[in-house]
Chains A and B, each alone.
Chain A
Amino acid sequence: MIHAIATLLVFQLAGEVAGRALALPVPGPVLGLALLFAALALLPRMAGMLAPTAGVLLAHLSLLFVPAGVGVVGHLDRLGAEAGPVVLALALSTALAIAVGAGVFVAVARLTGGGRDA
């Protein structure tokens, strides 16, 4: 577990350094994800070492959003008179984006003969 946590932190750190050094608009952890993904392609054996810890972290991914979510509650009044329109825009556009994204995926998969994958 210590090796796995250290590996994840090393890749996050590498992502932060690369992002800042190259002034990329993508945050460090997302770059760290890309770097680790590339490293796993080169060294597939690393995946077995990381899998149990990654599994625990990802099984409780939604817990990690709780502190930020609590912060949001205190700032809801910032929206003021715009709250109604903004909530409507968020809800509708999120529903539309999910529907369009999933619909396009299914349509293109059918067109390219990918079909459903078991």
Chain B
Amino acid sequence: MRDFAEIWSYLAGTPLIWLTATLVAYALGDAAARLAGRAAAVNPVLIAVALLAALLWVSDTPYPVYFEGAQFVHFLLGPATVALAIPLHAALPELRRAALPVLAALFAGSLTAIASALGIALALGVGSETLIALAPKSTTAPVAIGIAETLGGSPTLTAVLVIATGLFGAVMATPLLNALRIRDWRARGLAVGVAAHGLGTARAFQVHPQAGSFAGLGMGLNAVLTALLAPLALGLIR
């Protein structure tokens, strides 16, 4: 029998092990969420990320090696974003009827996300490099990175802040909206899609299909709006 180190060094060079680990970690996170009755605090992404980060740390695996395997999952974000057109199309009659509230909530939510993040960070003495990365944090990662890079910000830091925002939004949306007694699934979904992009949209789809469609709409529209508003907001404070 070959020794374990030899098998490990073979496996470590293939994408198989980290692709498997990603799916298993997510399946565990999803099982935990189901056991908890889909309580918002037991987020499957958060659990999977924590498990994998611990595994990488224990096995002393650098992130690029992990990503060799995980990239197959990551790649599907593109086609999944395109696929949001299907629930949006199915919801077209409701969307048309709600055009005014959608546009009003989009502007209010997008502006609040940018202005309050910059305002709070500025008041707490955060430096300008971080402010640039913070301004587009509510929009989908590729748009946010594009905006931050154009303004001279760090793409890595932007990605960190975008994902953190999505996790915060996915975890806090349900308890927050329940506390505010907002029961309209359209309002709940749209607000989460605008404030917390794809992670918020993923959470909305788990809660209610109508919330999911409106979240997808909010995410898509805010990708365009943040590209216009974030540079303006940063221009004002510099």
Contact = CB atoms under 8 A, between A and B. Distances in A.
Nearest to A104: B108
A67 B112 contact: no
B86 A117 contact: no
B187 to A, nearest CB: 4
B113 interface: yes
Interface centre among B56, B79, B186 (most CB of A within 10 A): B79
Interface string B210-224: 001000001010011
A67 B220 contact: no
Contacts of B126: 82, 85-86, 89
A89 B88 contact: no
Contacts of B132: none
B40 interface: no
Interface string B163-183: 111111110110011001011
Interface string A81-116: 010111111111111111111111110110010101
Given A108-B104, A117-B97, A33 B220 contact: yes
Interface in A40-81: 40-41, 44, 47, 50-51, 53-55, 57-76, 78-79
Interface residues of A, number: 78
B82 A11 contact: yes
Contacts of B127: 82
Interface string B89-113: 1101010011011101110111011
Where chain A touches its partner, the secondary structure class is helix
Where chain B touches its partner, the secondary structure class is helix
A9 B80 CA distance: 10
A98 B199 contact: no
B84 interface: yes
Contact of B109 (A15, A33, A79, A101): A101
Given A87-B164, A101-B191, A102-B187, A67 B70 contact: yes
Contact of A61 (B56, B143, B201): B201
Nearest to A32: B82
A56 to B, nearest CB: 9
For chain B, give the interface size range: 35 or more
B77 A65 contact: yes
Interface centre among A50, A69, A100, A109 (most CB of B within 10 A): A69
B191 A36 contact: no
B45 A58 contact: no
A102 B180 contact: yes
B35 to A, nearest CB: 17
Interface of A: 5, 8-9, 11-12, 15, 25-30, 32-34, 36-37, 40-41, 44, 47, 50-51, 53-55, 57-76, 78-79, 82, 84-106, 108-109, 112, 114, 116-117
Interface of B: 22-23, 25-26, 43-46, 48-49, 52-53, 56, 63, 66-67, 70-71, 73-74, 76-90, 92, 94, 97-98, 100-102, 104-106, 108-110, 112-113, 116-117, 120-121, 124-127, 130, 134, 137-138, 140-143, 146-147, 150, 154, 156-157, 159-161, 163-170, 172-173, 176-177, 180, 182-184, 186-188, 190-192, 194-196, 198-199, 201-203, 205-206, 212, 218, 220, 223-224, 227
